[in-house]
Structure formats: C-alpha cells, structure tokens
Structure 1
Amino acid sequence: MRGPGPTPRPSRVRARGAAIAAFVALAPLLPAAAVAVGTLKVDTSLPYVCTLPSGQQSATVRITAAFPDRAAPGEEIKATDVTTTVELPAAADLRASLGSAVRAETRLTVDVAQNEQRAQATWSGTAQSLDVPAEGPLVLTTTGDVPALTTDTTGDLTLTAAGLALDLAPGTTGDAPTAPASLSVTCVPGQDAGGRTLLATVPVGAGTREPSTPPPSPSAPSASPSSRPSSPSGRTVPVMPGTAAGPVPKAPRNGQQADRGRGPTVTEEDTPGTPAARPAAPPCVTEKPTPTSLAAYITGYSNVRKLNGANIIPVSCVLIEQGEPVFDPRPDGSFHLLTPSTGHLSYQGRKQTPPFKATFLTFDFAPATATMVLEQIGTMTVDSDVLLVFPDNLSETYIRARFVLRVLDVRVNGTRLDVGPDCRTEKPLGSPEPDPAKYPGDHLVLLGKGQLINGTDATGYLLTGGGPLTGEVTIPAFKGCGAGGENLDRLLTASISGPGNYIKQIQGQTCAVGVEVPTEGQCTEDRQPYVVPKPER
C-alpha cells in the first residue's frame, strides 16, 4: 500500500452498548434425529413489504424451525429444520426481469435479545432452480445453515425476525437465449407486524438442567464452553448490525463497569483436520470439487484517496475452476500459453468478503468507523498469459470481477449513524480496463506479474503459487443509505466515492482441491488452503 494515513484495526471483539461481546459464525444444522424431546416448534407466516422492479409489493414470509424449549447457561442453542418460504405476488414482473426460471438465496436478519443484551445473526438459505409462473404468485422456499447461539447469563432469550434480503438469479431454462441480470430484493416487516416479529423465546437458567447433565433423550448433547475443542484455528467474528430495525443497546453510565456476563454469542467451531501451525482463517471449502478445482486465500489493503488513508480487506476465500490451457502462437513469432479460469469469493455460503472495519478521519477531524463488505456480482474471470521466452517465461494474470461495496454500520465519534439495511454503491466498483471492447462495463481489474526462470523458483505472481495483485479502483456514488426519512447518500458519496484508489492484494498458494493426493504443504487434511497470506503495503 502506497498511501499515507491511518490504517484500520482488524476486526476483533468490541464492546457494544452495555459492553456485551456479540459474535456470529456459521454452525452446521443438526440432523432432525438430534432434536431433543423438549422441542419448541416455530411455524409462522409474517407480512413483509418487498421492493420489486415494479415498486413495493406486499409479500408473505413463512419461517419454520425447531428450537430446544429450554437451555442452561453456556449450553448451545441450535435451530434445526429451518426453512424460509417467500411468496411474491408479482410473478409476471419477475419473469420479465429474470426469465422463465429462477434460483434464489435468502438472508434473514434475526435479532437476538436477552435482558439488556443484544446481538444479530443472519439466517442464510438457498433454493434450487424453479419455473416462474406466467401469472399468480412466485413461491420460493430456501434452506441452509444458521448460527448457533450460546449465552452465559440467565433469562429469556428471544429471537425476532427483522430485514430480509432476497437474491434472484436466472435458473436453468431453455426458453431464454441470453441470461438476464441478477436481481436483489430488499424486504422489511410490514406495518401489520409492527416492524418486528417474534419467532421464539427460549428460557435460559432457572428450571433447566446443568450443561454437563445428559439430555433426557437419545439426542446428541449440546456442547458447553468447557467441553468445546480449542485450537489455534478456533475463532469468533463480530456481529455487524445490518438493518435499520436492529436494536441499539444502552451504553453504560460514566464510571460504571461493563456487564461481565457474556450475552448471546455464536461460536465458530474449529475446522476438523486443520494443522495447529496454520493461522486462523475463515472456512474455505469447495462443496463439489472437480479435478481442476483450486482454493486460495487472499487479503490486502485498499486506499481511500479522499480520506487520505487505507483499509485492510480481511482474509477471504476464493474458489477457482481452472480452465484448459491453450497454446497460442502469434504472428510476431512469440508463443503464449493461455489459461482462462473462473472463480468467486466464498464466505458463509455467499459470494463476498467477511465484514471488515475501516477507521478514518472524515473531513480531517472526525474519527469515523465503517463496517463494510464487498459483494460479488456474477463470475470472476482469471486470465493467465505466459510468454514462453527461453530461459525466462513471463506471466501476466488479469483478474476481473464485479463488486458492490455495501456499508453495514457507521459510527462517527463513537455515535452510531443509522445507514439502514441497503446502503451500497449504486453500481460496481470500476478500474481502468486495458481491453474495454472485450470486457465492457464497470468491474474491478487486478494484475499479477510473474517470472519463471528455468531451474529456479518463480518470482512475482502465479495463479497456483500466489503473490501480489495490484490495481486502481473508482468507488461509485452511494445509494439507499439512511433510515427514518434521513438520506445519507450524499454524505457517504462526498466522503468516500471517487477515482484513483490504489489496491494491493496478496494471494496465497492454491490448494488443488480435486487432486486425489494434494501436494504436501498446500492443503489441510480436509482440503482447505494451508497457506494464509498476510497483507502487504
């Protein structure tokens, strides 16, 4: 990173409001047979308002899940059999936008509360491709992993449905000659729901069994903090408020110590088979690997020129499908080896980075901290070109991807600035494109250069070996920022948006996921990248 100015601290546990620590991470669903006898069934239909291409429409969201009907302090509380069914009334409108088939992903924000403590979690789900009816409603049902909860204090733990994000993409169909663009739909609880809807209340403490006592059924016992495995790879990730409806905890009075009881949290379990020497990193798993599947971690810095500073982009997982190499002789007598590949970021089942924080001095005097994510749209292309010149082989790799910068939370001088649930750049980030005729539109471009000298180690960047990738990015104007009638678009645009922002990313060595016996030192036992890179300026 070339730019001066303060750099942000990495994401870590922070005090929120009454100084409670709130964490979130994915936890696998328990099988249905593992649900204890004392089970609280949830099956509720909620009124929502969704913003579709034709405008705001009323929709019905049905949520089903099963919770334990009680828990002891420190005992895991896992929701099982979770489904989210969304009934959208304007199927014809969506058919015009997406085609005759559609795939869906949902992200339901769930507010978790206990006594004066608050946290947020995201329930993610996916659906298989289904036909869009020519008339009548479109009904989408998604399933997926949800966070597991723990709390060290007693009292009723409540879970309340808040904002819902619905991502729609063209499905498998023979009717559409071209693939229409994807569509993101934002939904909020309707007025009939009072803006928020209670899903479940789980009593914690009085009248419950001790965590060490086996449950009165043959189901698998939940793990208490003392029984959970621990290793250097275990980690927790802060909850990042993402909806305007999210509760704001009360701040402690002056001189008053923070509440020592830890509120509702979610702990990410250690990755099985991860060597102790490997640094902590988000899961990076290829669900259905092929012989050409690669996985790698990437991290680095990005300047924000207007703020005269830089922010760190956290360690992120990228999954790549390597293409077939093509030998390309040129009219000038040179020989090139071209390898086209595709890929995408992967975080908790979504194509995005983990949430990251950036701290700057806005207008040169006001400290501001923003929590953001980079959300990928479409497919990432990775084009490697090796110029075969004996004894030196020169390599250039262009990585192109469309990313929208989404802002989840902003604090100025420690005071929360409510940006709402849908604050993001109005279009993807843009970079200077060396071949605009072949690659039109706004997208990020990163370039990695390497050299392979016969008989020696490679230097610079190679797709399989990793290395530095650099580029320049324009941050577009923001839209959808603000809540309660307050429009903050112009404020964020004036503070952040603009061209000439230098970016430097470091990719680690890839793991050949689909190889039967991966090369030692490249993959963990469960086929995740072994190398976790460190950001470089």
Structure 2
Amino acid sequence: MRVRRAAAPRPSRTRARTTSTAAFVVLAALLPTTASATDPQETEAELPYVCALPSGRLPATVRISAVFPERAGKGEAFTPDGVTTTVELPAEAVADLTARGAAEVRPATRLAVGVAQNEATATATWRGSTGPVSLPASGPLTLTTTGDVPSVAGRGDGDLTFTAGGLAIDLTPGPVDPANPTDPAATAPGSLTVDCSLAEDAPDQGLLATVPVGTGGPGASGSPSPSGSPQAPGSPEDGPGDRREERQGDRSPKVLEPSPGTAPDRDDVPPCRYDEQHPPTDVSLNAYVTGYANVKKLKSAAYLPPSCVLIEQGLPETGPPDPEYLIFDTVSYANFHYREREQTPPFEATFLSFDFAPVTATMVLEQTGPMRIDSRMRMSLSDFTTVTDTYVRAPLILRVLDLEVNGTPLDVGPGCRTETSLTSADPDPANFPGDHLVLYGRGEQIIGLPATGYLLLSGGTLSGETTIPAFTGCGTDAEDLDRLLTASVSGPGNHIKQVQGQTCAIAAPVFPSPTDEGQCTEDLQPYEIPVAER
C-alpha cells in the first residue's frame, strides 16, 4: 500500500456521499461536528484478488484510492472522499463476456470495507459505477468506478482502521451490433456478477487507512486499548462484566447508511388500485416500482419511492419468421397513478452542490404521454427455453416542488421543471422519435424452473441511462433559479435502475395462501412491494 500526504496544507472537508444523505444529516445533528483542523491523508492501495469467473478462479488486481482525514474527534462523522475502485480483470474475463455476445459492459462494484476500532468492528459497503466500457480486442479488462461511500464515526478513543474485503462486480452487457441494435439477437444476455476475494498474500491484509480518533489518538500507551477507550483505575466504567460488555457493544464504529433489503410497510406506500375514474379491463395489471436515479454532476443518487403503475397488457402477435425460434411481440401501455395524477409520489433528495453546500429538493416525475412497453419473446424450438427483451419508453419531466440550500428555502415557483422529458438514446429512433426515457430488461425461463431477470408479469430489474435537460420556470421575477439548477443538475450520463414488483392481474387475482405469497391483496392491490437496488 502506498500512502501519500497532501503536498500543501488545505482545510479538511467532509463530504456526504451516502446512499441516503438525508439520513446522514439527521444523524450527524446528534453528533459533535467540530472538524479536525488537520491535513487530509491521501491513500492508494494496490491489492491482489482472486475472482470467480465462468472460466474459473483467476487472479485480478484491484487499486483503491481515497482521501481520509488525518484525525477525527470521538463521535465525529466523516466521509472518505474521492473514492475510486479500479479493477483489472484478466484476458479470460474478456473471453467469457464475448462468448456471451457482449461488445461492451456497464460495471458496478460493491466493496466490503471492514471498519474497526479496538475490538469493535463494523462493515461499510463502498459502491461504484461508471458508463459503458468497450471490451478490448486483446489483453485485460480495466474497469474504474466511483460512487457512494457511507460516513463513519468512531465511538471512542483509538485508531479507526479501514480494511478492504470481498468485492462483487456486476457486469451488464451492452449491444453487440451497433448497426442493428433492434435485433433481439444483438442484445447480450443478462448481467454477470463476478465475486472476488482478497488474496492470501495481500499486503497488510488489505489495510487501506488508519484514522486516529479522540484527543489522544491511540490508546494511552500509544496503541489501541484491548478493552475499549482507556479508563482511569477505579472509574465508573469498572462495573460488572455484563455491563462492561454492553457498553463495549455501544462503541462499535457507526456506519451511517440505511440497512438494505428492507421493503417499506404498506402504510408507507400510496394506494395502487383501479377505481371508477380508472375502471379495469380483462387485461389490466397493477404493480409497484421503485429504484434509484443517479445525478452524475452531484456524484450522488436520488431514491425513487414505491410508485403505483396501472398497466394495460397487450395481446401477443407473431413476430418475424425464424428457423430456430418462435417469436412473439407484445405492446402494452402503462401510467403512473398517484392521487388521480400520472406521476410518482413526491420524493426528497439531498445532495452536496458544488461539493460543499447541502441542497434538499422535493421532486416528482410527471408523465407527458403514455408509457409504452415493448416485449419480444423468443422461444427456442429445440428446448423451449424463452428469452424476453423488454423496452420501456416513458416521456417524463422532472418537476421541482421545493428547494432548500444550506437550510434556507428558495422559492422555485409553481412551474419549475425540465424543459423536455428525460432523454435516452433509443435503440430504434426511426420508429420511436422524440424525447423519452428508455429502460431495458431481459428475462429468461427454462422449462420447469422459475423465470429470471425481468418479465412484465413477474417484474424484475430495468435499467438505462438518461440526459437531464435544462430547467425552466424556476424561481421568481426577483430571483431566476433556472441557471442554478441547470448548472448543478442537467447533463448526460445519469444511470437509472428501477425494480418492478410482481403484478396483480385484476381479472384473475391470485391471493396469498400459507404456501404462496400470491399476487394481489384482498382489495386488488399488488401484494409485493419491491425493494430498490443500487
């Protein structure tokens, strides 16, 4: 590991880049916030890993760089800054991906980082992503990602250490033939996840950085005290053993990020049902969707809460002839449904504008036209395996309802919105012109096994990339905020990952049973409330 100090003194800065910055702001308000008046320490570690690829377990090189504070106060939350993860996968990885029909991949990394102070430990997840990366014609594949890093606070005195652990790399293949991107055969199969573990000969067992915490830094003897922060003999801390163990548990390093994988309570999501204004038909479905949308300029993401979607499923039509497959095309249409409006519920996101000013915005995504869902199913005549490619095209503007900068409300006015819809590069622009968001998902099913990936009926993950247009109508006559929002937010390269839950088929509902969770509640709402994924 190589540790580099800043060449010249500069103020220590704490940047909140957690999955939920709003949660960090609330928690940080309960902690001492006096910044450490010391220089930052810049670290760069080059570590050997072993990755499980389809072709076998192979060595890989991982470089991790970040900026940590030189020292932190007890209970003071800080965020490692400038975190970058670079993975060099061997040439065999390229062969594995090209064999799956990929020409490029979109990588996302999840690095488990052990955080320890004295004998107490915690784990933080450092996430990273980047845009599409073309596969090289020969040699290794190098992937560089940046992204969300949770804040950490030491509970007592003593060194706080950060150690690299397991690494997962999600590789989403891109189109194969740019000259013919509408051909289903030109779209690579679903994502590949590569799990990597730290090699046994890794230097310093993967140590990334050490941050002394407390006025005295390490323990009184110059090294961490095995029983927690040092105490004077006869102090009140010298109570019974069980009370001491309880207090020791309280000193675990605090990782300020929400617990993943927890579905919201039904009371916390909007209703999702048909009504007199929206009567169902024989092909009506409803479902909840949720997810995250990156804001590239702000190096963070907005959480899209569970939103109701009403869907009218189309009837399959026979597609073009193929000697090896039966092909069926289905066109369905859908609308968001929130309080009789075609929009998401309002959602709040907090970012650091220009890397230092906390900005909290309340927003909605609002439809300006119908949401179209195009699905093409290809059934193999040899083994009846099916592969379904789905494209969701949605004209959506982003409307800003409220805005606060550093706690000060700004009047955005009643008409603050993007000039046009969020825009993606459509794989078939001749047939689908105009501004709209495009999300893609692929589902596969083998006879006798559950479906994997995305299917309209069972749900799954859809992803895409969008350009956020310039803003208009923001502010008042006395203060025009269009330029501020456009400069801070608008631009290309914003990744979106959406999760749709199992649909409820209104005409033939399936209710929960002791052995089956079912598809519908008793009042014909979607039974499943999906969990957002990064």
TM-score by length of 2: 0.49
Q: 1 or 2 for the larger relative contact order (CA 8 Å, sep ≥6)? A: 1
TM-score by length of 1: 0.49
Which of the pair has more CA radius of gyration?
2
